A = this chain, B = another copy of it.
Amino acid sequence: MNQATGAPGTSRPGGRTARVREAVLRAAGDALADKGIGGVDLAEVARLAGVGKTTVYRRWGTVPGLVADLLAEMAESSLPRARTGALETDLAALAGLILKTLTDERQGPLFKAVIAAAASDPQTAAALHRFYRVRIDEWAPCVAEAAARGDVPAGTDADEVVRALSAPLYYRFLVSGDPLDPDTAARAAAAAAAAARAGAYA
A residues in contact (CB < 8 Å) with B:
36, 38, 112-113, 115-120, 125-126, 128-129, 132-133, 136, 160, 163-164, 166-168, 170-172, 174-178, 187, 190-192, 194-195, 197-201
Q: Is the CB of B200 within 8 A of A187?
A: yes
Residue numbers in B under 8 Å from A112 (CB-CB): 119-120
- Contact sample, A vs B, 18 pairs, CB 8 Å cutoff: A113-B119, A115-B119, A116-B116, A116-B117, A118-B174, A129-B178, A133-B176, A163-B168, A163-B176, A166-B175, A167-B167, A167-B168, A167-B170, A174-B175, A187-B201, A191-B191, A194-B200, A195-B198
Number of copies: 2
State how many angstroms separate the Cβ of A114 from the closest Cβ of chain B.
9
Partner of A171, one of B120, B126, B171: B171
Q: Which of A132, A160, A167 has the most CB of B within 10 A?
A: A167
State how many angstroms separate the Cβ of A49 from the closest Cβ of chain B.
24
Q: Is the CB of B129 within 8 A of A177?
A: yes
State how many angstroms separate the Cβ of A105 from the closest Cβ of chain B.
16
**In the complex, residue of chain B having the shortest beta-carbon distance to the beta carbon of A168:** B167
Provide the bound-state CA to CA distance between A200 and B199, in Å. 15
Partner of A191, one of B117, B118, B164: B164
State how many angstroms separate the Cβ of A62 from the closest Cβ of chain B.
17
